Structure 1
Amino acid sequence: MLSPTLLVIFLLVALASAADYYKILDVHKSATEKEIRTAYKKLSKKFHPDKNKSPDAEDKFVQIARAYEVLSDKTKRPIYDRHGEEGLKAHEGGQQFQQNPFDMFSNFFGGHGHASHQAQRGPSSLTEFEVSLADMYKGSSIDFMIKKRILCDHCRGSGAASDGDIHTCSGCNGAGVRVVKQQIFPGMYAQSQVTCNECQGRGKVIKKVCPHCSGHKVVDHTAHFTLEVTPGMPEGHEVVFEGEADESPDWEAGDVVLRVRSRKENGGFKRKETSLYWKQAISVEEALLGFEKNVTHLDGHILHIVRTGVTQPGLVQQFKGEGMPLFGHDDSHGDLFVEYNVILPLEITPEMRRKLTEAFHTPSSTRDEL
């Protein structure tokens, strides 16, 4: 018989090795049913062995299915929360799965189990997405929303109020087509197959439609996403959210594609590939005598510019390593080009005119002596 100390150690080891279904789905223990469904949808598609060829993909897929089976069940989840995996197994009589994980995936997505990747793919959506140049310079996480259609949570895309409301079509006996005889000549008939008009070729009819989607199988939904803008992301770079487009029981959801560009803004920095451009206004005095300027860069750091002597209008000065980050290279940057524009005063005072005349015109007496 085990001593109390050994028994405690044994129990701690068992608990440590037990599966944490919340951790598997990457959700909090207070997660709602919707959050659990969303997590399963994302992870099951990511690790489905028909798409993910890594050696441990199938094991992870099975774990994800088991976690969803338990946490989405109103009876099993409380038992698991109170007694853990061992208590749940005792409740189930040692039988771990009530259904095949691939069948669960098929029922969830309206697909065909292992062959779900061969299902017709729905349309993808392409959206031009503008962000600030500062976000593309330093990187950012941007939350946004997209309106789309998802499978009805109540009927899971069947369109029926319950499974018992789905019946085999009596018009075609579930075949989806009917054989029609047509007389060509007296005593001569031709047979042809036509789509059954009672079930529209589905082979099933619904006696009572789902009250949540009115039999449409899908409902409107506002989905929340986060766009990760990587420093130096190229203009027009496409970010793909796989399988997040409109859902339907008749196809596999397409992708949401964002084509990312910097927002057009008046003034400020301009971008051309890895280079940045800045126009700096200076006065006539500064153009002639020199100046010091502080320019606040896109990430907030200060670029100190010093010019001595004469600065010609339109002069372009190059600053190495002050341009855009090179995409995928954290420590490398392009160059910054600063163009100087000399701003002339709209009018000058008589005193200023006199001083300018003295500065730029040699006295007549001097010219006579020469």
Structure 2
Amino acid sequence: MEYKDYYAILGVSKGASQNEIQRAYRKLARQYHPDINQEAGAENRFKDIGEAYEVLKDPEKREQYDRYGSAWKAAQQSGGTPPPGYEDIWVDLSGSPDRSFSGFSGFSSFFEQLFGRGNSRGSAWTDFSTSESGDSQSWTMPGADREAVLSLTLEEAAHGGQREISLIDPETGQSKTYAVKVPKGIRPGQRIRLAKLGGPSMGSGPAGDLYLRVDLQPHAAFRLEGCDLYTTLTVAPWEAALGSEATLTTLDGSVRVKIPAGSSSGRQIRLKGRGFPNPPGGAGDLYAEIEIAVPKVLSDDERRLFEELAERSTFQPRAVEVAR
């Protein structure tokens, strides 16, 4: 597996704090978002940035990545480091990460699971029954439940709908496509159950279930907290001072919002019910945080007007900060 240096992708050190990682991600996500950056390779760079952030923002995933590199996900799922040469033959009998074995190790745990120490559906069970001929016995054990990650965009999770997913059958190695109904307003960590698509049974027991755990891809414009959405509204200094109107993008289209006169950076404009859907009805709120942007290059007229304002204005911003 190709190694990706997630720290280098985000431009942070290995000892970077969560805040530093988040700031680096937001800056790069805006810079390389396909809707903004049309340069060749920008889309792939954006995907790498999102992938790096998804791992490094999660302390558990980050710890596994720091320890195992590109094999962090396999190590996390297995609860340990895969032995060399055995990565492709790990067998999960219980459906839980801490009960896997490879090669010939863990042999006693196999029998414990088979004859009474439990699997992901509860206790493993056996059914010894006499056959019709009366000369043989059989046993059965239900299949293990399995879990996979279903990665969705914020819009896909908010609006719901049908998604097609392709899964590889571990028994046959063949890929199968399934239509999955994604409920409107599903949130990260929630699961969608696909009955009897988990591990096969032993004997005549029922197959296990497959659970798709929802994971949301990073969004360049929105941050989700519960059912509330947070975004940034960039305004010019005169818009903040005099008040104005601006177009704000939401999950359901664009709306016009009023910028109150005398707004400072950090002030939030609340749009009730414009956030993330909250099943079975309603939605959270959308908060637009004002960010005042100053032109990097001034024309002669702009410079003259700003200089005139500086001479005439009695406003003292540092005094306001002290008063707070």
Q: Which has the higher strand share?
A: 1
Larger Rg computed on CA atoms = 1
Q: Greater relative contact order (Cα 8 A, min sep 6): structure 1 or 2?
A: 1
TM-score normalised by structure 2 residue count: 0.50
TM-score normalised by structure 1 residue count: 0.44
